Amino acid sequence: MFNKLTGHLNDLNTYAKDVLELIESHDEIVILRHQKPDPDAYGAQLGLRAYLQNKYPDKSIKALGSGEPSLEFLGEMDRVSTIERPLVIVVDTGNKERIDGTLDYAEKIVKIDHHPNVELYGDVSIVETDVSSSSELIYLLIDRWDSSAMNDEAAALFYMGIVGDTGRFLYNNTSALTHAVASKLKEFNFDAADLNNQMHKSSKNKFKYKGYLINNAVFTDSGIAYVYVPKSIMEEYDLSVSEAGLDVNIFREIEDVKVWFIALEGEGEIRVRLRSKEVVINDVAAMFDGGGHPLASGVRVKNMDMLKELLVKIEEKL
């Protein structure tokens, strides 16, 4: 259906059939994604589970990993006691270190991702950086496999994954293909407005936390905005590290800001959510063993001195 818009997606065009053959040859399938999941990780993982369970009701299809309270409205993870040499499909995860789970029990491994391919892994790998999200990519695979097995649950999950990674279709990773896929998903019966409201609802504490970010933001003459959030502040507002990082784009609409980040104090590390309007930043993230998309990356540094080094490297790019 999307052939005119997907001709340049080489991995999708080359390996879609190979992934389907692996799925059909395994009675047990485990779907994993990255640690600290975002809406796309949840949408891709749980959407694929919903689709496969509908298409193959006699197979064991499990989605494993730690839950994220802010995303539980999308669905819950499975719990299993024994796993017998399954096919493991890893979605939305660029490198093995970030996988929320283990590959030790896998008979075969499939990687499906839209992040830069920083680490090759898996018996079959489909990595397409030109799609908005892993949710979009998986639906494109399904369109080639058997879209008649799609259902409302899978459509809602893929749609919300796309919404999450495109910032409600506002970011520059939103393409004509993205809109075409979203339009097709909207033909299914789910309440997109209600799901959007649940994804973006805010408690009083979260609302007050935004005030902390605004009042403590630092702006440089070169066009960087950043704020450091110690654990004590997250505790004061009753936020997890993941929840505290969700407001990273609070600086996006400020006219003179080119690059921005939130630095979140964790256990023995500082997690940095790094964003940019136009300046490529994933190369800077890679200098600190981080990575991600050209305009949206993540870094973990050990201390404030390393955080200052990161700031210097960003300054050098500007």
Q: Find the length of the chain.
A: 318
Q: Which domains does the chain have, with CATH numbers?
A: 3-198 (3.90.1640.10), 205-317 (3.10.310.30)
* Measured distance CA(51)–CA(234) in Å, rounded: 37
* Measured distance CA(2)–CA(89) in Å, rounded: 23
Give me the amino acid identity at 89. I
Instruction: Indicate whether 80 pLDDT > 90.
Output: no
73 CA to centre of own chain:
16
Instruction: Indicate whether 58 pLDDT > 90.
Output: yes
Q: What's the pLDDT at 230?
A: 97
Structure token digits, residue 94: 């660029």
Give me the amino acid identity at 75. G
Name which of 203, 130, 179, 188 is nearest 155 in CA terms. Answer: 188
CB 38 within 8 A of CB 95: no
* Measured distance CA(128)–CA(136) in Å, rounded: 10
Taking only the tens place, the pLDDT of each residue in 8-47 is: 999 999 999 999 999 999 999 999 999 989 999 999 999 9
Global pTM reads 0.88
Q: What's the pLDDT at 134?
A: 98
Taking only the tens place, the pLDDT of each residue in 284-308 is: 999 998 888 889 999 999 999 999 9
Name which of 134, 180, 179 is nearest 157 in CA terms. Answer: 134
What is the band of 51 on the pLDDT scale with cuts at 50, 70, 90?
A: very high
